[in-house]
Amino acid sequence: MQTRSLGTTGPQVSALGLGCMGMSALYGEADRAESIATVHAALEAGVTLLDTGDFYAMGHNELLIGEALRTAPAARREQALVSVKFGALRDPDGGWSGYDGRPAAVKNFAAYSLQRLGVDHIDVYRLARLDPDVPIEETVGAIAELVEKGYVRHIGLSEVGARTIRRAAATAPIADLQIEYSLISRGIEDEILPATRELGIGITAYGVLSRGLISGHFTQDRQLAPNDFRAHSPRFQGENLRHNLNLVEALRKIAEGKGVTVAQIAIAWVLSRGEDIVPLVGARRRDRLAEALGALDVTLDEADLAAIEEAVPPGAAAGERYAAAQLAQVER
Ligand SMILES: NC(=O)c1ccc[n+]([C@@H]2O[C@H](COP(=O)([O-])OP(=O)(O)OC[C@H]3O[C@@H](n4cnc5c(N)ncnc54)[C@H](OP(=O)(O)O)[C@@H]3O)[C@@H](O)[C@H]2O)c1
């Protein structure tokens, strides 16, 4: 397995991480046994980075990862690094009610996560979205205290802008920023990526397949459950979807020319953007995982990269990456 470093202060991790969110939430029904088998297959293939959030189905995802780790061979379990997001507030109906980055809340969230995961430390711990009422220095400072006590190894950030990144980095060493980055979500390139590079902070890129939209498997007529994120995501609606799937067809021509799949092109493109970037892939099944891992063997030369840029130029997607209310919660 190829490896990359999560920034200058973070750990060495597999060049692809496994994002486990869809195994519990947001993408419709998932199969628990297949989810655990997928985590095991990833660990077996040498994937060492598993990403979760304590709010993915209110602890369900952490319990699932905990079970997968407990039932994995000891050698694989010991290599696994778990990255956890916290801070999102939920209600019993599954609703979302803001973010809590207060120091006491940080410690409370961490205590529950350690218990659910069944581990004695969390490898990378990060606030999911900025809490507008709490200065980032206070939240990062509280995680730094958890680092001192050995409950957390590294501090991460999620979906924050360059100013917050700089303030956080001035408070404590930051391993990585988790943020959406893909062929059709290139918003980080202007300000955020230059800032993380200057500060030696790595990127764990999520949504590299744009939540399946540019995987080559998504179709116009796919039925989505009402609680599926994509049922409300602007890029998956009507005309926008039609436009975006045309981009996928343009990518498919390039993929076929290279004897690989569309998903592999999309993941390989993110991998090609820099050694400081670790794509998270949201595979929920072993076949999808195997396809994603195949991207590690895809080499994109200058001509391939130019053809990909021509097929999907920056800003080519129709629709924002989040609906307005969620977009308001990410710093840009
Ligand atoms: N920090 C944040 O704000 C944030 C936000 C979102 C996610 N994340 C993290 O990033 C991870 C990845 O995000 P994501 O799940 O949205 O990303 P993604 O990899 O862009 O999308 C995953 C979806 O793509 C589809 N897919 C089709 N072919 C695939 C293949 N070969 N490999 C993998 N997936 C394939 C799957 O849908 P089907 O199974 O339906 O085919 C899967 O549910 C999450 O699991 C989570 O840990 C972080």
CB of residue 280 inside a 6 A radius of ligand 1: yes
pLDDT of residue 64 exceeding 80: yes
pLDDT of residue 331 exceeding 90: no
pLDDT tens profile 210-246: 999 999 999 999 999 988 999 999 999 999 999 999 9
Predicted local distance difference test score (pLDDT) of residue 25: 86
Which domains does the chain possess?
3-215+270-298 (3.20.20.100)
Q: Find the mean pLDDT for residues 311-322.
A: 95
The span from the CA of 52 to the CA of 63, in Å, is: 10
pLDDT of residue 202 exceeding 80: yes
The span from the CA of 62 to the CA of 68, in Å, is: 10
DSSP state letter for 173: -
The number of beta carbons lying within 10 Å of the beta carbon of residue 206 is 23
Q: What pLDDT band is residue 34 in, cutting at 50, 70 and 90? A: very high
The DSSP bridge pattern shows strands 88-90 and 96-99 to be antiparallel
Residue 297 pairs in a beta bridge with: none
For residue 19, the ligand 1 atom closest to its alpha carbon is: 45
Q: What pLDDT band is residue 29 in, cutting at 50, 70 and 90? A: confident
Q: What pLDDT band is residue 28 in, cutting at 50, 70 and 90? A: confident
The span from the CA of 280 to the CA of 286, in Å, is: 15
The DSSP bridge pattern shows strands 96-99 and 49-53 to be unpaired
Secondary structure (DSSP) of 128-168: SS--TTS-HHHHHHHHHHHHHTTSEEEEEEES--HHHHHHH
pLDDT of residue 332 exceeding 80: no
Distances (CA, A) of 265 to 54, 188, 215, 242, 308: 31, 20, 9, 20, 9
pLDDT tens profile 150-200: 999 999 999 999 999 999 999 999 999 999 999 999 999 999 999 999 999
- Distance (angstroms) between ligand 1 centre and the Cα of 27 equals 9
Measured by CA distance, the residue closest to atom 44 of ligand 1 is 19
The span from the CA of 184 to the CA of 245, in Å, is: 12
Nearest to 186 by CA among 214, 163, 156, 216: 214
Measured by CA distance, the residue closest to atom 39 of ligand 1 is 284
Handedness of CA 64, 173, 185, 259 (dihedral sign): negative
Mean pLDDT, the chain, rounded, equals 97
- Distance (angstroms) between ligand 1 centre and the Cα of 219 equals 16
CB of residue 27 inside a 6 A radius of ligand 1: yes
Predicted local distance difference test score (pLDDT) of residue 227: 87
- Distance (angstroms) between ligand 1 centre and the Cα of 215 equals 10
The span from the CA of 99 to the CA of 134, in Å, is: 10
**156 token code pair:** 């991460």
Q: Find the mean pLDDT for residues 58-86.
A: 97
Cβ pair 202, 176 in contact under 8 A? yes
Active-site residue list: 56
CB of residue 54 inside a 6 A radius of ligand 1: no
CB of residue 88 inside a 6 A radius of ligand 1: no
pLDDT tens profile 129-149: 999 999 999 999 999 999 999
Cβ pair 312, 184 in contact under 8 A? yes
pLDDT tens profile 239-296: 999 999 999 999 999 999 999 999 999 999 999 999 999 999 999 999 999 999 999 9
Give the residue ranges of DSSP H helices in 161-273.
Answer: 162-171, 192-199, 238-258, 262-272
With a CB cutoff of 8 Å and minimum separation 6, the contacts of 293 are 16, 45, 47
Predicted local distance difference test score (pLDDT) of residue 120: 97
The span from the CA of 210 to the CA of 322, in Å, is: 11
